[in-house]
Amino acid sequence: MDRNARSGQHQRRKALEGRAKSAEAIDFFNVLTSPELLEATEALTPEHRERMYPPTVTLSMFIRQTLDADSSCQKAVNGWAAQCVACALKPGSTRTGGYCRARSRLPVSMVSGLARETGRQLHARALPRWRWRGRAVKLVDGSGISMPDTDENQARYPQPSSQAAGVGFPLARIVVVICLATGAALDAAIGAHSGKGTGELGLIRRLGAALRAGDVMLADALYCNYFLIASHVRAGVDVLFEQNGSRTTDFRRGQSLGTRDHIVHWPRPARPEWITLEQYREFPKQLQMRETKTDHQVLVTTMLDHRRTTKAELADLYARRWNVELDLRNIKTTMGMEALHCLTPEMNEKELWVHLLAYNLIRLLMAQAASNAGIDPRTLSFKDTSQLWTEWTARGQSASPALFALIAQVKVGKRPNRIEPRQQKRRPKPFQWLKTSRKIARDNITRFGHPRGPK
């Protein structure tokens, strides 16, 4: 590296450190520019001119948007202007155009890189007592996300074919890999909700780097697939799934390990379309799998030694798979990612990664609070931590032992075997359903007036 390059790098680092010291002006900036993440932030920050909204400021404001009940750009710009005045800085315009253009200039690689890096560091620093028998367990699951009905979004993420044109919304599918010990989101893949190679099994194949030798992959019955399991066995990754309903389990066959616990050999199925003949021949002709039945469900695993890993331990571990459902609920419902807000696929992908980055930063606070209090981070409330951090930074405070002590006070309730109806008691307002495009509906109102009542 020549002298000019080193000088430029030094100046950028000093600028980042200087902004970090005056971080009361920017929420989350202390975390983003901490010594652990400073190097990653610097490496991922693109070359830029000094503007009103440099990349790190823009990203910090974007993160705050994801945690705010009012996630509008106007609210973000107003908050930034008010903070500048409070810190005796020159306030800029409260128009949203400059901030929106700054968001569009943020590289997706910067946001996704920081999200993965925060997840990786948090996962790597998980205390041994938080892990399962000293091993890293990684949860995998998928979900659907809608976005505004624009031509660009429809082209990349078409709406379900069951919906009429102009009525539905573009729909995307995501698959996320999450650390069981800390709840950190390690990686994610996004694709269309329907079409060849867009299912959860197709998306998880893109995330092979998130699972490493020695890990345990924990997922539901959908992932109980021969080729997926064989790929993980080859990589040194153990799996624990519920048995897929399409496969028959007969405990009278195979090598018995105890009551409803045996080892069997799964033959290689026929070659699917997405695998070439050369790739197909690389897969083993059979897989040695352990099948065990506990609590009216059959579990499938590559952990074959029943003395080292008992049926009860497998059942207890699989019961913890429910954490990924709660994590996705925190990301989608608590943080408001059920419906993305941007008008283009590129910005929606960026918004997805900003949500995951914000989620990891909250998990970072929870892990620190749990470590200080000597408890498991999974016992703490994500929503309470998010609310505390928002209120804390709104008053110009940075992370401190007092904040961590407050976070550790509120724990999630233990509600085993909880059953709740998936129904709503409060009725919605009696508006008619929009069954045409909005443009046609407006034209009809202009010509015929508003409908007189519900049909």
Cβ atoms of 369 and 404 within 8 Å: the answer is: yes
Q: What is the residue-averaged pLDDT of the chain?
A: 87
Are 270 and 291 spatial neighbours (Cβ–Cβ below 8 Å)? no
**Is the predicted pLDDT of residue 448 greater than 50, yes or no?**
yes
Beta bridge partners of 173: 144, 191
Q: So what's the pLDDT on residue 296?
A: 85
Cβ proximity of 27 and 35 under 8 Å: no
Whether the predicted pLDDT of 21 surpasses 50? no
Residue 5 has pLDDT above 60, yes or no: no
Round to whole Å and give the CA distance between 328 and 150: 26
Instruction: Please say if the pLDDT value at position 398 is more than 90.
Output: no
| Helix (H) and strand (E) counts in the chain | 17, 9
What DSSP character marks residue 163?
S
The pLDDT of residue 123: 93
Please tell me whether the overall predicted TM-score, pTM, comes out greater than 0.85 for this model: yes
Rg (CA), the chain: 25
Cα dist from 323 to 218, 332, 376, whole Å: 11, 14, 13
Q: Is the pLDDT of residue 27 over 50?
A: no
Local confidence band at 28 (pLDDT 50, 70, 90 cut-offs) = very low
pLDDT reported for residue 19: 42
pLDDT tens for 183-201 read: 999 999 999 988 777 789 9
Query: pLDDT at residue 419 above 80?
Result: no
Rounded to an integer, what distance in angstroms lies between the CA atom of residue 56 and that of residue 62? Answer: 10
pLDDT at 355: 96
Is a pLDDT exceeding 50 seen at residue 288? yes
> Which 3 state secondary structure label does DSSP give 91?
coil
Looking at this protein, which amino acid is placed at residue 363?
Answer: R
Query: Counting Cβ atoms within 10 Å, is residue 374 exposed (0-12), middle (13-18) or buried (19+)?
Result: exposed
For position 396, what pLDDT does the model report? 76
DSSP-derived 3-state class of residue 107:
coil
Q: Categorize the per-residue pLDDT at 420 as very low, low, confident or very high, splitting at 50, 70 and 90.
A: confident
Label residue 167 by pLDDT band (50, 70, 90): confident
Q: CA–CA separation, 128 vs 139, rounded Å? A: 18
Reported as a pLDDT band with limits 50, 70 and 90, residue 20 is very low
Lowest mean pLDDT segment, chosen from 228-242, 256-270, 330-344, 390-404? 390-404
> How open is the CA angle 66-181-216, to the nearest 5 degrees?
115
User: At 100, is the secondary structure helix, strand, or coil?
Assistant: helix
- Written as six digits, the tokens of 182 are 């800390």
So where are the chain's domains? 3-106, 128-215+333-415, 220-320
Per-residue pLDDT band at 70 (split at 50, 70, 90):
confident
At 415 the pLDDT is 72
Q: What is the tens place of the pLDDT at every residue in 245-272? A: 989 999 999 999 999 999 999 999 999 9
Supply the pLDDT for residue 161. 85
Q: How many CB atoms lie within 10 A of CB 259?
A: 10
Question: Is the separation of the CB atoms in 201 and 224 below 8 Å?
Answer: no
Place of tokens 């979900």: 143
Amino acid found at 324: V
Confidence class for position 299, pLDDT limits 50, 70, 90? very high
Q: Cβ contacts of residue 247 below 8 Å, gap of 6+?
A: 224
- β-sheet with 238-242: strand ranges across: 185-192, 171-179, 137-146, 216-218, 238-242, 297-301, 286-294, 261-267, 255-258
Q: Which residue has the higher pLDDT, 46 or 31?
A: 46
Q: CA-CA distance, 250 to 229, in Å (whole number)?
A: 20
Per-residue b or e along 154-170, where b marks 16 or more CB atoms closer than 10 Å to that residue's CB: bebbbbeeeeeebebbb
The overall longest dimension of the chain from CA atoms, in Å, is 77
The yes-or-no verdict on residue 9 having pLDDT over 70 is no
pLDDT at residue 439, rounded to an integer:
86
Query: Looking at residue 1, what is its pLDDT?
Result: 53
DSSP 8-state class, residue 23: G
How many percent of the chain have pLDDT more than 70? 89
Instruction: Write down the pLDDT at residue 365.
Output: 92
Strand ranges (E), 371-430: none
- Predicted confidence at residue 310, as pLDDT, reads 95
Mean pLDDT along residues 71-95: 84
